[in-house]
Amino acid sequence: MDFTPPQKRKAEESIVPMINVVFLLLIFFLMTSQITPPEPFEVTLPVSETLGDAESELTLHLSKDGDVQFEDFTGETAWMRLGGRIDPQTVVKLRVDAALPAPKLAQVMQRLSPTGAASVEIVAVQK
């Protein structure tokens, strides 16, 4: 006769449902997030007393040396690509380095004038 007690079964909780939930959340956040591309070069934004919302799909980047970049294009190619995307309702967002000399900014603004953009908004940080 065997008088040993029967082996007790451990109550095992499955971790599979928790893993499924974590993966579903991961997929949800990856699908709903908007990944922004990195800035083409370091830009120290100018300081402003008040801030408004600079909302635009078209962003033109200006470095402190006057280099221009639009999307992945630089120089004259950037100007050509930007000009092809502007219509009378377009608002252009300008990310300008604070160290850019004012005459170079004036040249850029003159170059943007004949493109027909509705307005140009300069991005700044609040004081």
Map out the domains of the chain with their CATH numbers: 47-126 (3.30.420)
Secondary structure (DSSP) of 37-71: PPPSS---PPEESS------SEEEEE-TT--EEET
Nearest residue to 95 (alpha-carbon basis) of 25, 32, 38, 44 = 44
Tell me if residue 3 falls in helix, strand or coil. Answer: coil
Which comes out higher in pLDDT, residue 26 or 92?
26
What's the order of all strands across the beta sheet hosting 68-70?
73-74, 68-70, 58-62, 91-96, 119-122
Give residue-wise pLDDT tens across range 54-85.
Answer: 677 788 889 888 888 888 888 888 888 888 88
Q: Is residue 51 predicted with pLDDT exceeding 90?
A: no
Which comes out higher in pLDDT, residue 117 or 101?
101
Average pLDDT for 32-58: 77
pLDDT of residue 21: 96
pLDDT cut 90: percent of the chain above it: 11
DSSP 88: T
Token pair of 27 as six digits: 């997929």
Nearest residue to 61 (alpha-carbon basis) of 87, 84, 37, 35 = 37
Predicted structure pTM score: 0.65
Which comes out higher in pLDDT, residue 81 or 34?
81
pLDDT of residue 22: 96
pLDDT of residue 54: 64
